[in-house]
Amino acid sequence: MAHATFRIWRGRADSAGDFADYQTAVTDGMVVLDAVHQIQADQAPDLACRWNCKAGKCGSCSAEINGRPRLMCMTRLNTLDLAEPVTVEPMRAFPLIKDLVTDVSWNFKVKKGIRRFQPRPPDAPDGTWRMSQRDADRVQEFRKCIECFLCQDVCHVLRDHDKHEEFIGPRFLTYTAALEMHPLDAGDRLGDLKDAHGIGYCNITKCCTKVCPEHIHITDNAIIPLKERVVDRFYDPVTRLLRLFR
């Protein structure tokens, strides 16, 4: 039976931590999460990892595999070079709890700071609304998000520049876009985007889009249209002049 080496990060928040190598048997159809579970069962019962669905839908098993943010349960071993050790480490944009588990609670705090869905008054006397299918389809893409936070992990504004207090990150720009572009929503989040939520920090590197397991076009369909709205509102001289007169 074939074997492969997994170089897994071991450590706690309060200790330095290091990689440890584990050899384990690999069979057809295995994913990285299977290998981690096998290592837990046979060699390292105290190895911490977070997972839930093993189907790419809960967003819990996010990690960095060979240096790239990915879901452990959706990374098949036959897509990796098993001649070399496969490195598995925790997301680096969030504080470590233990081994592969990070504290992602900052994201939940950020979400609470975004203005909620605010429906406009109903269109018909029976309390119902009308909207076009095209408008509904537009936001549907953003609703595929599984909150794995891989896009947050790869974004240099959070990861390298640690702007967690000033920038909400690609996941929550996508969430804001889903609200702002919702055909029934009457809320206004453009001022927040410009100031508290730091949309100006994003320089459209598209790294977030590249790692999204749901293939959401984060930059093209969410961030760029939001940036355009912010620019139109706050920086376009003609619009500003018109608003002044209005």
| Backbone phi and psi for residue 7, each to the nearest 5 degrees, phi listed first | -100, 100
Residue (101 or 213) nearer to ligand SF4, CB: 213
| Contact letters for ligand FES, residues 57-86 (x by CB under 6 A) | xxxxx---------x-x-------------
Residue (65 or 223) nearer to ligand FES, CB: 65
Is residue 106 a contact point for ligand FES (CB under 6 A)?
Answer: no
Torsion over CA: 28, 32, 35, 37 (sign): negative
- Alpha-carbon radius of gyration of the chain: 21
Residue whose token pair is 């911490």: 48
As measured in angstroms, the least distance from the Cβ of 21 to ligand FES is 23
Residue (24 or 152) nearer to ligand SF4, CB: 152
As measured in angstroms, the least distance from the Cβ of 23 to ligand SF4 is 31
CB neighbours of residue 226 within 10 Å:
23
Residue whose token pair is 């069962």: 41
Q: Cα–Cα distance between 241 and 218 in angstroms, integer?
A: 32
Instruction: Calculate the CA 170 to chain-centre distance.
Output: 7
Is residue 53 a contact point for ligand FES (CB under 6 A)?
Answer: yes
What is the side-by-side order of every strand in the sheet holding 3-10?
18-25, 3-10, 86-89, 62-65, 68-71
Residue ranges in contact with ligand SF4 by CB under 6 A: 145-151, 154-155, 157, 170-171, 174, 202-208, 211-214, 216, 218-219, 223
Residue (150 or 181) nearer to ligand FES, CB: 150
Q: Half-sphere exposure of 212 toward its Cβ, with a 13 Å CA cutoff?
A: 21
User: What, of ligand FES, ligand SF4, none, does residue 219 touch, CB below 5 to 8 Å by kind?
Assistant: ligand SF4
State the DSSP H helix or E strand holding residue 128, giving kind and residue range, or none if neither: none
Residue (123 or 195) nearer to ligand SF4, CB: 195
Is residue 56 a contact point for ligand FES (CB under 6 A)?
Answer: yes
User: What, of ligand FES, ligand SF4, none, does residue 147 touch, CB below 5 to 8 Å by kind?
Assistant: ligand SF4
Give residues in contact with ligand FES (CB under 6 A).
Answer: 51-54, 56-61, 71, 73
